[in-house]
Chains A and B, each alone.
Chain A
Amino acid sequence: MHVLASSILRMDANWVDYLLIAIYFVFVLGIGLSARASVSSSIDFFLSGRSLPAWVTGLAFISANLGAVEIMGMSANGAQFGMPTFHYYWIGAIPAMLFLGVVMMPFYYGSKVRSVPEFMLRRFGPGAHLVNSISFAVAQVLIAGVNLYLLATIVNALLGWTIWISTVVAALIVLSYITLGGLSAAIYNEVLQFFVIVAALLPLTYLALHQIGGWNGLADAMDKAGTGAQTKSWPGTDLTAFSSSFWSVVGIVFGLGFVLSFGYWTTNFVEVQRAMASKDMNSARRAPIIGSFPKMFIPFIIIVPGMLAAVLVTPLAQMKAKGADTGQDGITYNDSLLLLMKQLLPNGLLGVAIAGLLAAFMAGMAANISAFNTVMSYDIWQTYIQKDKPDHWYTSFGRGATVAAAVLAIGTSYFASQFPNMMTYLQTLFGFFNAPLFATFILGMFWKRMTPTAGWTGLVAGTAAAVAVAFLSEDAFGSASTGVLNLSGQGASFVAAGAAFVVDIVVSVLVTSVTAPKEDSKLRGLVYSMTPKEDLLDDHAPHWWLSPTKLAGVSLGMVVILNVIFR
């Protein structure tokens, strides 16, 4: 059991910090209330976004993802593995975001579905829809557990309550936040949260770098600590835990860069929905591409502070030198950012940082729980179990589902707390849920013969393959893993994702060859060859920055340059 040492993490917050945090809450609730006044229904929420300019949806697109998981997980990863963590951005996010904007968005936006399960329903029918809805609901509860656990650690750090009380209180805060604020305000809150987080993390990084003597000072200090190799991003053998550099590169490029990241970014309901809220097709396509520019620089204020913490924070540095998972007073890599904040930030700035982190964690969990609620009430209950209830019946059912999800998340947060590095756990989950979905999606989108039966059997087989790899690995599933395969760390999740992808494709192709396809007329707008080509073109854009393809080219070029500089 991982016990957090409240004494070592306790922030010495004073009234200025609490004032800044309180002001943030006033803003969040204020946005919720004004949004509620002007937005009356789910359809209104979805479309009110259609008046949003591309830079807002672009920022919302990445801040929907800039939650607890990313901030704490990536800084933990940075503290433990150093520069190879940048692959999660430069290899593991940017190419997939560009692909989403250039290739996938026309299908989403053009078909006007509101969710990814809804797309599955129209492309493959009920089988694939039900499988996808259930696996999505399960994934949301598990990920909500991660967010809740991280939220509890910061309440624990701030107030010194035990982790159990913090967890329950944090769950209650999120519940009231959803009910009071309403999720119709989600996008605005996310954009606001982005700026607060940058306002806190940018000075934190600057102060830490100033103290250690700049980038060269950091490199020298890491050399002295014997971790100098971590200032290079390739081949990243520490990250994958593969002994061979060659296989490590293959694992990062194929497992992380292709299957996991394309699976995550192109099929994730929460992300895709942000882009679909744009005002027209061109803005929808540009949203993820615009988001890719800040996305490539965010790691400098998330991963680099993690690396700095592993050098500047003495207990963390000692723990790393010993190669241990837990250090003095039970600290883990997950605590890196909190320890650095405590060590460097004066009262005032500390309040901004705590407000930003609380906001990110609540938004993350709120997004998981509301996504769960939507899928549970509409995609599962209304579609398959009780069809003909009046509308308000499903609304109250949804409320019940929200409470149930919060209770379940308390359970899954305990499970999440067993993992010393949150990122390893999360990547394992993404392998189970996103990798097979991506395989089915991409095959169904480009191969019009793919049958409805192949749709759901592929998903089931792919998930089963990833779960099997996680159980057979050394630690992808924590103590439940058996260790038959010699795989550990994030390399194991890359392999699990790869297995899910390959098995899904093979099963889908085999099943398609013996079952009947859908009629062509029903695939319009859902399959590449059946979609009007003008939806995919953008050559009437008057400027290069208004053309999704050209803008994506610029972004890709910049990422290649960053990879070369920090290789």
Chain B
Amino acid sequence: MKKVSLFDVRNIIGALMVIYGVILFLASFATSDADKAKADGINANLWVGLSLLAFGALMIGWAVTRPIVVDQAQREADRRAVDEAAGRPVDDGGAGGVR
């Protein structure tokens, strides 16, 4: 059985970057002259905001056009192989603990 992974790191990166981009873009209109002077006259929030927005969109676009496919059967087989190789009793995932 194969399924498409929704929990794709590219979507997460993309979402955060888009949100940051929008906030910085909006904040750029409220950036005080004193703040602009600090950054040598550049409205840094504006340019960084736009770049993050573009980058985030690119990441989400990539995740949509080339999704990751998880092979469930392969994953189960891997899991058993690791247990056997390491000499641990093969259990049903009750190993617990934070690793």
Q: Once the chains bind, are B12 and A43 in contact (CB under 8 Å)?
A: no
Smallest CB gap from B52: residue in A: A199
Q: Is the CB of A346 within 8 A of B45?
A: yes
- B39 contacts A43, C-beta separation under 8 Å: no
Binary contact readout A31-67 vs B (1 if CB under 8 angstroms, 0 otherwise): 1001100101111111110110100100000000000
**What is the bound-complex CA distance between A56 and B68, given in angstroms?**
12
CB-based contact B95/A207 at 8 Å: no
Contacts of A392 in B (CB 8 A): 96
CB-CB nearest in chain A for B81: A112
Assess whether B64 is interfacial by the CB under 8 Å rule. no
Q: B71 and A349: CB pair below 8 A?
A: no
In the assembled complex, which residues on chain B have CB atoms less than 8 Å from the CB atom of A20? 20, 23
Q: Give the chain B neighbours of A44 by CB distance below 8 A.
A: 79, 93
Number of A positions contacting B (CB below 8 A): 61
Q: Please tell me if A23 contacts chain B, counting CB pairs below 8 Å.
A: yes
Name the contact of A207 in the complex, choosing from B27, B28, B42 (C-beta under 8 A): B42
Chain A residues with CB under 8 A of B82: 43, 46-47, 112, 114
Check B95–A349 contact: CB distance below 8 A. no
* Option from A184, A352, A374, A395 in Cβ contact (under 8 Å) with B24: A352
Number of A-B contacts (CB under 8 A): 148
Report if A51-B44 is in contact (Cβ < 8 Å); known contacts: A27-B12, A378-B97.
Answer: no
Write out, one digit per residue, whether chain B residues 76-99 have a CB within 8 A of any chain A CB (1) or not (0).
001101110110000001111111
A398 at the interface (CB under 8 A from B): yes
Beta-carbon contacts of B3-46 to A below 8 Å, as 1s and 0s? 00101010011011101100110011011100110111011110
Given A50-B78, A352-B24, A43 and B83 contact (CB-CB distance below 8 Å): yes
Tell me if A188 is interfacial: C-beta within 8 Å of chain B: yes
Given A44-B79, A188-B9, A348-B31, residue A199 in contact with residue B20 (CB < 8 A): yes
Taking the closest CB of chain B, its distance from the CB of A484, in whole angstroms, is 43
Known A47-B78, A391-B96; contact A114-B31, beta-carbon cutoff 8 A: no
B7 touches A34 (CB 8 A): yes
Other-chain contact of B44, A27, A35, A346 (Cβ < 8 Å): A346
B94 and A391 form a contact (CB under 8 A): yes
CA distance A40 to B30 in the complex (A): 46
Say yes or no: B12 contacts A31, CB within 8 Å.
yes
* Chain A contacts for B78, CB-based, 8 A: 47, 50
Provide the bound-state CA to CA distance between A199 and B48, in Å.
Answer: 8
How far, in angstroms, from A183 to B99 measured CA to CA in the complex? 7
Q: Knowing A43-B79, A195-B13 touch, does A182 contact B52 (C-beta < 8 A)?
A: no
Tell me the minimal C-beta distance from B88 to chain A in angstroms.
9
Beta-carbon contact of B12 and A207 below 8 Å: no
Given A43-B79, A188-B9, A192-B13: A349 in contact with B96 (beta carbons within 8 A): no
A206 to B28, CA, bound (A): 17
Please tell me if the beta carbons of B93 and A41 are within 8 angstroms of each other in the complex: yes
Question: A19–B19 Cα gap in the complex (Å)?
Answer: 11
User: Is A345 an interface position by the 8 A CB rule?
Assistant: yes
Interchain CB contact (< 8 A) of B7 among A38, A40, A182, A374: A38
Closest to B15 in A: A27
Contact pick for A112, options B12, B86, B94, CB 8 Å: B86
Mask of A194-215 contacts with B, CB within 8 angstroms, 1/0: 0110010001000100110000
Residue of A at shortest CB range from B19?
A: A23
A47 proximity list for chain B (CB < 8 A): 75, 78-79, 82
The distance in angstroms between the C-alpha atoms of A370 and B38, with both chains bound, is: 41
Q: What separation, in Å, do the CA atoms of A20 and B27 have in the docked complex?
A: 11
Which of chain A's residues have a CB closer than 8 A to the CB of B42? 207, 210
Residue A479 at the chain B interface, CB threshold 8 Å? no
Report chain B residues within 8 Å CB of A343: 38
Check if A56 sits within 8 Å of B9, measured CB to CB: yes
Q: Complex Cα distance A374/B20, Å?
A: 35
Shortest distance from the beta carbon of A52 to any chain B beta carbon, whole Å: 8
Q: How far is the CA of A374 from the CA of B31 in the complex (A)?
A: 47
Asked whether any CB of chain B lies closer than 8 Å to the CB of A344, the reply is yes
**Residues of B bordering A, CB below 8 Å:** 5, 7, 9, 12-13, 15-17, 19-20, 23-24, 27-28, 30-32, 35-36, 38-40, 42-45, 47-49, 52, 55, 68, 70-71, 75, 78-79, 81-83, 85-86, 93-99
7 contacts between A and B (CB under 8 A): A23-B23, A53-B68, A114-B86, A188-B9, A344-B40, A346-B36, A392-B96
Known: A47-B75, A195-B13, A207-B39. 8 other contacts (CB 8 A): A19-B23, A31-B12, A40-B93, A43-B79, A195-B55, A199-B52, A374-B97, A391-B95
Shortest 6 CB-CB contacts between residues of A and residues of B:
A346-B35, A348-B27, A42-B99, A41-B93, A395-B96, A112-B85
